[in-house]
């Protein structure tokens, strides 16, 4: 009989782990700070410099909200190869989509991704990222590891955030970001695959849905049940 409450606790714990892991995802794009350590290789230097660049935009008090949004947008577009990320997230549908669909999808994805960050800009409250090292992948890219430092967090548990840095036409770009083991572009691809599976692999339907979501995000519509 006395097992009952323990049984309640135990299954909750694995749901909790997943949820706690997500707890930091949203804080991610605002986590930019200067790193005191000298970066050891070009990919680390690249991440370190961009961390400082992003922080400069977020902490610049002379910017109006629209100016900050615009600067942050340009910063993201120069930092992340969103075209490449977009096509990756399309998954197997990339092979069957027409060139026109792919172009429209890339545009819709870009606005969708930027709108997610825009909607959370106000949540920035001094979080910082410190570069801690890097590791090559088997694909010629480099994983740059950082740790999130949140001055407001009550726990001292380090939160790992990694960037997958790749070369696009000789220029360094970020193509994926990992928070607590979750690669965000892979997660996005998994969602899109599921959506496409439910909608007869219609890329047009996905584009329309992304545009709707972007509009909702920009309008700041609350979720059901949310205050």
Q: Binding to another protein (CB under 8 A): which residues in 107-136? A: 116, 119-120, 123, 135
Toward another protein, which CB reaches closer, 60 or 194?
Answer: 194
How large is the greatest C-alpha to C-alpha distance in the chain, in angstroms?
A: 65
d(CA 143, CA 120): 25
d(CA 157, CA 32): 18
Contacts of another protein in 30-69 (CB under 8 A): none
Using rule CB under 8 A, residue 103 touches another protein: no
Among 12, 103, 204, 215, binds another protein (CB under 8 A): 12
Toward another protein, which CB reaches closer, 18 or 37?
Answer: 18
Choose one: 2-10, 54-62, 63-71, 95-103; the region binding another protein (CB under 8 A): 2-10
Residues 6+ apart with CB under 8 A from 45: 39
Using rule CB under 8 A, residue 219 touches another protein: no
Choose one: 31-39, 61-69, 71-79, 208-216; the region binding another protein (CB under 8 A): 208-216
Among 6, 95, 151, 170, binds another protein (CB under 8 A): 6
| Smallest distance from another protein to CB 102, Å | 15
Both structure tokens of 6: 């323990």
Count of chain residues binding another protein (CB under 8 A): 77
Using rule CB under 8 A, residue 167 touches another protein: no
Helix H, strand E, coil C: the string for the chain is CCHHHHHHHHHHHHHHHHHHHHCCHHHHHHCCCCCCCCCCCHHHHHHHHHHHHHHHHHHCCCCCHHHHHHHHHHHHHHHECHHHHHHHHCCCHHHHCCHHHHHHHHHHHHHHHHHHHHCCHHHCCCCEEEEEEEEECCCCCEEEEEEEECCCCCCCCCEEEEEEEEEECCEEEEEEEEECCEEHHHHHHHHHHHHHHHCCCCHHHHHHHHHHHHHHHHHCCCCCCCC
Contacts of another protein in 66-95 (CB under 8 A): 84-85, 87-88
Toward another protein, which CB reaches closer, 17 or 56?
Answer: 17
Contacts of another protein in 168-197 (CB under 8 A): 175-176, 180-183, 185-188, 190-195
| Smallest distance from another protein to CB 106, Å | 13
Toward another protein, which CB reaches closer, 37 or 56?
Answer: 37
Using rule CB under 8 A, residue 141 touches another protein: yes
């Amino acid at each position: 009989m006395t097992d009952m409450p323990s049984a309640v606790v135990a299954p909750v714990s694995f749901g909790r782990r997943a949820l706690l892991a997500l707890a930091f995802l949203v804080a991610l794009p605002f986590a930019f700070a200067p790193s005191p350590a000298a970066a050891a290789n070009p990919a680390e230097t690249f991440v370190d410099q961009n961390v400082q660049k992003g922080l400069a935009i977020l902490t610049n008090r002379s910017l109006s909200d629209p100016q900050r949004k615009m600067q942050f947008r340009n910063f993201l577009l120069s930092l992340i190869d969103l075209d490449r990320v977009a096509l990756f997230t399309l998954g197997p549908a990339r092979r069957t989509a027409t060139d026109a669909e792919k172009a429209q999808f890339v545009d819709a994805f870009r606005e969708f991704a930027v709108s997610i960050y825009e909607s959370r800009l106000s949540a920035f409250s001094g979080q910082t990222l410190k570069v801690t090292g890097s590791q090559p992948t088997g694909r010629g890219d480099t994983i740059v590891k950082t740790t999130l430092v949140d001055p407001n967090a009550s726990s001292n548990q380090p939160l790992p955030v990694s960037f997958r840095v790749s070369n696009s036409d000789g220029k360094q770009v970020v193509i994926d970001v990992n928070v607590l083991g979750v690669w965000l572009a892979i997660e996005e691809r998994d969602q899109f695959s599921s959506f496409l599976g439910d909608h007869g692999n219609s890329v047009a339907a996905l584009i329309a849905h992304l545009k709707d979501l972007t509009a909702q995000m920009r309008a700041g519509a609350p979720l059901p049940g949310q205050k």
